[in-house]
Amino acid sequence: MMTSADRIARVRLSSLYLPLDTPVSDAKVLTGRQRPMTEIAFLFAEIRSEQGHEGIGFGYSKRAGGPGQYAHAREIAGEMVGEDPNDIARIWDKLVWAGASVGRGGLATQAIAALDIALWDMKAKRAGLPLTKLLGAHRDSVRCYNTSGGFLHTPIEQVLENATAALERGIGGVKIKVGQPDTRADLARVDAVREHLGDAVPLMVDANQQWDRATAHRMGRALEEHALTWIEEPLDAYDHAGHAALATALDTPVATGEMLTGVTEHAELIRAGGADIVQPDAPRVGGITPFLRVAGLAEHGHLQLAPHFAMEIHVHLAAAYRTEPWVEHFEWLEPLFNERLEIRDGRMLVPERPGLGITMSERAAAWIAERYST
């Protein structure tokens, strides 16, 4: 086996909690399945090699799971020390097997995500390239749409103002949340936004898994007149057959995949024909290494790609996808970093800085609850 002179010398983990300005509610809150979200838990990994190369990565969890991700990462991070940081795939397998007794998916692999992403960041920095250039870019910018302005706790008048502000900022599309117990309220909300935006602006809706099959079909047919870019998570994330039937029945594309936590789960979704648009999330599937496998499956299936959340990571991964993708714009994470992504003419520009192009801000450091170094 070929080796390099460099080795991983240190891994530092940070558990931090990002407070949200306003409690956030989607359909899962209105149906009583979850409480409003007031903070997001983050797991940051900072890796340094013997030759002084550094990489940073992060994962996250909403409402629950943050302490578990941090605890599991702390248990397995020492397995990386002494390894060649360029052997990312082999390190990923080593970390998975180090914690295999609790599974090779879900929280166990989500804890690996920050470590894996940090390795890719280091590798790109070492090459002096933005991550997408290291992967093999197809474009230097990606279509983007805003989600954060359209949650269900937000009055419709404010949703309309938020949509206008997003477009004025240069964002290319708008997504709003639906899935309320009263479907008439959903239809009225979509009607208002479409009328406000006009027919030319891309508009998406997201039911956050809260419809049953019959409701999804009825709502899908009722929404056809609005020429939506997609309907997201109309059904339970694991109802692949239901999603497939809906995708066949509707002209509007069906998007899903953000809640799936591994390559195998995405493979089952794609095999079932359950999505026109696949929405993998690198931190949720275990990092960039498994994300690239999911993207390969999606490309093989001639599917569109629209990664979920974490635009700071996904702008790079989307820019490396063969066909034109979308990236989701959330400004929530901006306080964590010193840098800002540039948006222009409906597109998010890939940073020209090496690696992911992000560094943790002093403000983020103040939110750290625990820290561990190997």
pLDDT band at 6 (very low <50, low <70, confident <90, very high): very high
Query: Does residue 312 surpass a pLDDT of 80?
Result: yes
Q: Residue range 73-90: average pLDDT?
A: 96
Res 1: pLDDT? 47
Instruction: Give the whole-number percent of the chain exceeding pLDDT 70.
Output: 99
151 and 112 within one domain: no
Pairwise CA distance, residues 293 & 271, whole Å: 14
Q: Which of 360, 297, 356 is nearest to 135 (CA)?
A: 356
180 and 141 within one domain: yes
327 and 237 within one domain: yes
Domain count for the chain, please give it: 2
Residues annotated in the binding site, as ranges? 26-28, 62-63, 175, 206, 208, 232, 258, 328
230 and 111 within one domain: no
Query: Does residue 104 surpass a pLDDT of 90?
Result: no
Tokens 């020390």: give the residue.
81
The least confident of 103-112, 172-181, 288-297, 307-316 is: 103-112
Query: Does residue 44 surpass a pLDDT of 50?
Result: yes
Residues annotated in the binding site for substrate, as ranges? 26-28, 62-63, 175, 208, 328
Q: What angle do CA 310, 311, 312 make, to 5 degrees?
A: 90
> What does R_g of the chain's alpha carbons equal in angstroms?
20
223 and 78 within one domain: no
Res 2: pLDDT? 53
Bridge partners (DSSP) of residue 15 are 43, 370
Predicted model pTM: 0.95
276 and 185 within one domain: yes
In a domain, 174, yes or no: yes
CATH label of the domain that carries residue 278: 3.20.20.120
Query: Does residue 126 surpass a pLDDT of 90?
Result: yes
In a domain, 221, yes or no: yes
Provide φ and ψ at 143, rounded to 5°. Answer: -55, 140
Q: Residue range 4-29: average pLDDT?
A: 92
pLDDT band at 3 (very low <50, low <70, confident <90, very high): low
310 and 178 within one domain: yes
165 and 117 within one domain: no
Q: Which residue numbers are catalytic?
A: 177, 308
**Average pLDDT over all residues of the chain:** 95
292 and 256 within one domain: yes
Phi-psi region of 41 (alpha: psi -120 to 50; beta: other; left: phi over 0): beta
313 and 369 within one domain: no
Q: Which domain holds residue 181?
A: 132-349
300 and 172 within one domain: yes
298 and 182 within one domain: yes
